[in-house]
């Protein structure tokens, strides 16, 4: 787990609230980082990173498309350094956990051709 000071805007946070049995995900925003009440209600949290074989949503910042595939690894060296590799050997700038539905933000950005 990262200390709260290490969480950055844009990180995907996996967390569990003290009053809930379910695991949740959210993207860290400036307002969320400043919301002490939210952080005090959590039983645990950490910055999510994909694990090998995990189903994820892959996309590039300025692309209209996205792909649901299994995560393989984070690229190293040259043009693929830091990019996310899927099961089809494609590399992407962004990777989010797939939870059975495509997030509304990904769908809207795909329609407009922009990602945030």
Domain boundary among 15, 31, 47: 47
What is residue 72's predicted lDDT score, i.e. its pLDDT? 96
Total number of domains in the chain: 2
- Is the pLDDT at 113 greater than 80, yes or no? no
pLDDT by residue (tens digit) across 41-63?
A: 998 898 999 999 999 999 998 87
Q: How far apart are the first and last CA of the chain?
A: 25
pLDDT digits (tens, 9 = 90+) for 72-109: 999 999 999 999 999 999 999 999 998 877 666 666 65
pTM of the predicted model as reported, rounded to 2 decimal places: 0.72
The helix or strand, by DSSP H or E, that contains position 74, with its residue range, turns out to be strand 66-74
Domain of 33, in residue numbers: 4-47
CA distances from 83 to 24, 49, 86 (A): 24, 12, 10
Look at residue 3 in the predicted model and tell me its pLDDT. 59
- Do residue 105 and residue 68 come from a single domain? yes
Q: Assess whether 88 and 59 both reside in one domain.
A: yes
> How many helices (H) and strands (E) would you count in the chain?
3, 8
């Amino acid at each position: 787990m990262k200390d709260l000071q290490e969480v950055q805007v844009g990180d995907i946070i996996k967390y569990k609230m003290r009053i809930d049995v379910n695991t949740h995900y959210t993207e860290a925003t400036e307002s969320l980082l400043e919301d002490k009440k939210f952080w005090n209600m959590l039983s645990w949290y950490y910055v999510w990173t994909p694990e090998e074989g995990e189903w994820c949503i892959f996309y590039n910042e300025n692309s209209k498309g996205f792909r649901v595939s299994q995560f393989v690894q984070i690229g190293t060296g040259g043009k693929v350094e830091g990019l996310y590799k899927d099961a089809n050997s494609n590399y992407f700038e962004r990777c989010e956990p797939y939870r059975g539905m495509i997030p509304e933000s990904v769908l809207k950005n795909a329609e407009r051709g922009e990602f945030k």
